[in-house]
Amino acid sequence: MPSKFDPEEIRRKAEELESASLSEVLSWAWEAFGTRAAIGTSFQGAGLVVMNEAFSNGLNFPVFTIDTGLLFPETLDLKASVEKRFGITIEPLVPEQTLEEQAAELGPELWNTKPDLCCSLRKVIPLQKKLSTLDVWITGVRRQQNDAREKTKIVELYHFDVLRDLYIVKLNPMAAWSRDEVQDYIKKHDLPVNALTARGYRSIGCQPCTRPTASGENERAGRWTGFDKSECGIHTFLGSNI
């Protein structure tokens, strides 16, 4: 269960850190919360930057990823490369149902019929369970990724469990970074990348819901083509930043 921290103190700190550097934000999280802060990654470029910056400075946050069972083999290869590079084990958050169980109960290829439900079952609920054990969730969200993310703050506070009056801090230390800045950092530090990037994929999620994007499209335009959907729900289910 998350510890009870003072929301007022977090709000004050949020103002102070809004213009802080990546390393300053991560150092604060480590000093204030230690391993009750964890990095959640889907192995996009920004997440790789966060991990490199943390681990090269001795900030040994736990890391988790949501493994829907529908990730590209290239993404799973990258997970193995990242674990080797940093000498860590990344915790996979898995849905309650296997794909077969889901298909038997809700029909085959739920992503083609009810993608919101599919994302909820395979991503949001596993994440909710994980967050209920943490104080801080560290993400790689960037404002530039799409319209829905342009108001992202570096430090956000959510009333995670209203009944138990528990909060979670969502830390978005990459919020102000551009895609070019991320790519430059990755090259400079020779970080492993998803092999799909060279084939035109700029935002990489589950196989059935991801396609390469053309120049001129926003980074997340290759997700859920054919549906009025640009977010899986993991960055929206918490409601409003308070």
Please list the active-site residues: 232
Q: Give the count of residues interacting with ligand SF4 (CB under 6 A).
A: 13
| Closer residue to ligand SF4 in complex, CB, 70/196 | 70
Minimum distance of ligand SF4 from residue 225's CB (angstroms) = 11
Does residue 119 touch ligand SF4 according to CB under 6 A? yes
Residue 2 tokens, joined? 């998350």
Q: Contact at 8 Å (CB) between 57 and 22?
A: no
| Closer residue to ligand SF4 in complex, CB, 29/118 | 118
| Closer residue to ligand SF4 in complex, CB, 227/242 | 227
Does residue 70 touch ligand SF4 according to CB under 6 A? yes
122-141: contacts with ligand SF4 (CB under 6 A):
122-123
Burial-class residue 118 by CB neighbours within 10 Å (0-12, 13-18, 19+).
buried
Minimum distance of ligand SF4 from residue 191's CB (angstroms) = 24
| Closer residue to ligand SF4 in complex, CB, 164/211 | 211
First-residue to last-residue Cα distance in the chain:
20
170-229: contacts with ligand SF4 (CB under 6 A):
205-206, 208-209
Please name the residue that has the structure tokens 């889901």: 102
Give the residue closest to ligand SF4 by C-beta: 206
3-state secondary structure of 160: strand
In 10 A of CB 165, how many CB atoms? 10
Q: In what order do the strands lie in the sheet with 155-161?
A: 91-93, 63-66, 37-40, 136-138, 166-171, 155-161
Does residue 142 touch ligand SF4 according to CB under 6 A? no
| Closer residue to ligand SF4 in complex, CB, 55/237 | 237
d(CA 51, CA 41): 9
Minimum distance of ligand SF4 from residue 210's CB (angstroms) = 8
Q: Contact at 8 Å (CB) between 65 and 43?
A: yes
Does residue 51 touch ligand SF4 according to CB under 6 A? no
d(CA 172, CA 26): 10
Given the rule CB under 6 A, which residues bind ligand SF4?
A: 68, 70, 111, 115, 118-119, 122-123, 205-206, 208-209, 232
